[in-house]
Each structure stands twice: as structure tokens, then as C-alpha cells.
Amino acid sequence: MQERQTIVVSEDVLDYLAELSYVLFKNGYFDYFENALQYADGIYDDIFKYIYVAKHIKVPVKHKDFGDFYFVIKANKRTAWHVYFIEKSNKYYITKILNNHLETARFLNI
């Protein structure tokens, strides 16, 4: 049986998820801050849950600064999270996370 690779999440991704809770609550997507926290925590947990089984998609050359590969976590009917990573020395380095609603992720909707 093959040993699972180690997953390392960048500080940028951790900071983004922490900020996401606040932004979602502030903008009225959740009525309670605790629910917004649970949503962001769920995305974090899903990274560890799906990285081993999700299809790894090669990142287009023009977006190589995001990472080498990404996989998709479907949050609901309208939102998908794209988790970018580099695989090196038997480790997954999570480098960035975007969703299909962000301006910087506009290319994902093509």
C-alpha cells in the first residue's frame, strides 16, 4: 500500500480562508459569523479530503505562478473552489485557492 503524500498549506492560503469568513459574513452571505467560519473550515478540510482522489489538472502556462496543478472542490451549484498546488519531494504544497466568482479567476469560467 502506497503511503499518502504530506500536504503543506501556504500561509497565504490560510490567511485567505481566515479572511474569507469575515468577508462572507460582512457581505451577508451568512447570517451568523460561526456559519461563515464553518464554511471556510469546510473548504480547508476538503483540501485534505479531495487532493488524493480529485482529478489533477495541469495549470495553463499563463497562470503558472498559481502552481503546477489544480483540482476542483464543488461547494454548491454556483461555486467551485480551485485549489492550486505544486507536487515535489513526496509533498503537496497548496499555493493558492480561487473560486469561480473572483475577478482573478475569470479564466476558469471559459
Residue 28 inside a domain? The answer is yes
Residue among 71, 33, 38, 76 nearest 55 (CA): 71
pLDDT at 2: 56
Give the pLDDT confidence score for residue 46 in this predicted structure: 96
Tell me which residue range forms the domain holding 91.
Answer: 6-109
- Where the chain has pLDDT below 70, the residues are 1-3, 102-110
In a domain, 41, yes or no: yes
Domain assignment present for 64: yes
| pTM metric for this prediction | 0.86
**Would residue 1 count as lying in a domain?**
no
Looking at the structure of the chain, the number of domains it has is 1
Separation CA 79–CA 45 (nearest Å): 17
